[in-house]
Chains A and B, each alone.
Chain A
């Protein structure tokens, strides 16, 4: 058999060598995707079927509607004629364009609606301008009102139905128009429709963006009886915040800002479980980022540890802990001893390293006041509220176990932890005592540095203790602030202003409220010869100089505030004060003017007249009447004593003071 040589195929093109490379083709991935996929053959078939079905459905609907309107008017004869026509036309089309099944359906529908009307004619043939149709048109004109109705029905069911459009067009201008005119009319109509659609869309959009409507008092009352629906509340909080962000434009005209704020506060109280008072305080403090703050309070701060530099180095500790399966990182650039623990396979508070005192678990914020204090070696330092000893051990480590450190706390049972921690960390330079901080100045004074981490309401550490959310009220805050003021005065009195290296007090709280922070420091500035100095902390937000009705000392911006949502630390406040004179301003005036003069002559250094001093000059007026009597009685005696006092220095003055109090 062999192969046959294909002779019939004509040679095409040049030879192999001259073959031209085809034009480069973009790879499929780079090709622009067409908006509409090309349909396969079957799909196309199905599509045409679908369209046809839809069309028929619409026709039937239209028929029924039109029937209702017209049947009464139409005469029987006309009907007959039309029926004949319709039948003819329909049949022809159906045979040509449609499948058997559909045609059967069609015929059924026709039999059902035996009395048909113009719509059909229009569909089939534009050129078919018979007189009858015209007549029909004339008649239908009467029921013009109803026709647009039909249109609308069509639109509502399927807005993109071209068939309908076409039919409508012909309905209205079936008169003899030029094809171009028809087209124009068609176009007009389409435009109109587009416009309508656009408007509709716009309106729906506006509805979404529409002003948030505050629920009325009754609605809120009704809601408060039901269990809270957190999703609704959260949505409302977001809406109100949105409104408040641009209040002028987004508000409801008849509602005041106060209405919005009250509802916001109530909602946030319910959503985050705060009491009203605390929420009000927070809203004053964080007008912008209240939600961030509240959310940060729901999340725990990362676990952080501090390396005990007396026993190990951070690098070595990190290595050993990593070997135990701990995932950690340095805490930040601002500290050389802190490590943050991400996760751990072993309990981080019970490793042999922990027990051997190589580190202590301590919040990142607790490092800050100690860093601000910056205790030097061989100093005498007091930690006034020491428990549980995290900061105390840090101070001792900074002092390298030299000098003397006093750790005091009011609660004896909490001091057990201090004893344990100090021994575990190998600290030997510390005396642990249990006094009320307010009496500390009577026990011992002359410290180079004092750290007062005052007991506070704990509004900065809500993540740690959520009980604060509901348990604090105005009274508690007032009580705290009062205690803090007493403690800070006592702490200042413990300081020795003449110390060559020190004379510093660091005041810190884990509260964010102004009442417990700036107010207390401001109070101390007024009552004692202290001034604010920079804390030495590079980050954190400055303290408030003005806050609402408060006007603090202009240097209050040297204090530092830390927030959970901005620094991922506990809420914290740190202020560093330097005592520049051992005098207590208020008491000078009581002794007498004479002595004052002599004192000023003696040491001009002390003659630093601050604005604070002037303020304090008035405080002597507020003495109790008892004291005034005593003053008068003891004036002569005092004058004698003053003679002696001229020679002696500060110490004797203190003795005098004590005696005076004893008498009292």
Chain B
């Protein structure tokens, strides 16, 4: 376990800002104590400082997880967000997509969002913007990348892809082994 290096920090925050923009600040400066990001076995964990210190007692091999895992660095040095980060992305997300009830299941099986299943979309979403995807009852289901801007969506074909799938909560069932 160690703090992120500058390079890692840059890549990580860049990625994170695609979804929550400047709200990253909210994650680091919280009312209920100090929080930090830590790097452990290629993964980035987000936790309270107190918890991080306690976790420091555990040797590297025996420590599996602490706090919340946000995602992992790939071998090529890119950062990939995991669905476990959803709890912290959803409240701060800038652009959102709501799905119709019959499209929920589709998305939870790992499919992209199609125009037919689109319930609502935040006004002014640009193309290739990171979006958090909700059900109509405001239950966060996952996140992805907008394939079309809001404007384009209006005239899109019903079968056209609106958002690319990146992560969804169905993964808790589909690949529990590789969840972090």
Residues of A within 8 A of B (CB): 320, 349-350, 352-353, 355-356, 380, 404, 406, 412, 415-417, 419-420, 422-424, 426, 428-435, 443-444
Contacts and interface: CB of A to CB of B under 8 A. Distances in A.
A310 B40 CA distance: 27
A274 B68 CA distance: 45
B121 interface: no
A417 B176 contact: yes
Contacts of A434: 62-64
A429 B87 contact: no
Contacts of A422: 65
Name which of A356, A380, A434 has the most chain B CB atoms within 10 A of its CB. A356
Nearest to B82: A423
18 contacts: A352-B135, A353-B139, A355-B141, A356-B139, A404-B54, A416-B179, A423-B69, A423-B87, A423-B179, A423-B180, A426-B87, A428-B67, A431-B51, A431-B63, A431-B67, A432-B64, A433-B58, A443-B58
Given A355-B169, A432-B66, A419 B57 contact: no
A412 B61 CA distance: 11
B24 interface: no
Contacts of A415: 64
A431 B62 contact: no
A417 B170 CA distance: 14
A406 B104 CA distance: 35
A352 B139 CA distance: 8
B55 interface: yes
B172 interface: yes
Nearest to A412: B64
B172 A355 contact: yes
A444 B179 CA distance: 27
A350 B64 contact: no
A432 B58 CA distance: 9
A574 to B, nearest CB: 27
- In order of increasing CB-CB distance, the 4 nearest A-B pairs are A355-B169, A423-B84, A431-B66, A432-B65
Contact of B66 (A320, A352, A430): A430
B65 A424 contact: no
Nearest to B55: A431
Contacts of A430: 65-67
B173 A419 contact: no
Nearest to B83: A423
Given A352-B104, A356-B140, A424 B66 contact: no
B6 interface: no
A421 to B, nearest CB: 8
B66 A355 contact: no
A429 B48 contact: yes
B47 interface: yes
A624 B59 CA distance: 32
Contacts of B46: 428
> Looking at B63, B66, B108, B135, which has the most chain A CB atoms within 10 Å of its CB?
B66
A431 B139 contact: no
Interface string B83-108: 01001000000000000000010001
Interface in B128-180: 135, 137, 139-141, 169-170, 172-173, 176-177, 179-180
Interface residues of B, number: 35
B50 interface: yes
Interface string B11-47: 0000000000000000000000000000000000011
Contacts of A406: 54
A406 B62 CA distance: 12
Contacts of A435: 62
A433 B141 CA distance: 28
A449 to B, nearest CB: 15
Contacts of A356: 139-141, 169
B64 A419 contact: yes
Contacts of A416: 176-177, 179
B66 A420 contact: no
Given A404-B50, A419-B69, A419-B179, 14 more contacts: A352-B135, A352-B141, A352-B169, A355-B169, A355-B170, A355-B172, A419-B64, A423-B84, A423-B179, A424-B172, A428-B48, A429-B51, A432-B64, A443-B59
B44 to A, nearest CB: 14
Given A353-B139, A435-B62, A444-B58, A423 B68 contact: yes
Contacts of A350: 173
A420 B64 contact: no
Contacts of B170: 355
A415 B66 CA distance: 13
A320 B48 CA distance: 33
B36 to A, nearest CB: 12
A426 B68 CA distance: 8
Contacts of B177: 416
Nearest to B178: A416
A355 B177 CA distance: 15
A282 to B, nearest CB: 35
Nearest to A358: B139
B131 to A, nearest CB: 18
A606 to B, nearest CB: 27
Nearest to A423: B84
Contacts of A404: 50-51, 54
A380 B54 contact: yes
A428 B173 CA distance: 20
A410 B120 CA distance: 47
Given A380-B54, A404-B54, A419 B65 contact: yes
Contacts of B58: 431, 433, 443-444
A433 B1 CA distance: 13
A416 B180 CA distance: 9
A380 B169 CA distance: 30
Nearest to B180: A419
A443 B57 contact: yes
A616 B51 CA distance: 38
B22 to A, nearest CB: 22
A78 B144 CA distance: 123
Nearest to A416: B177
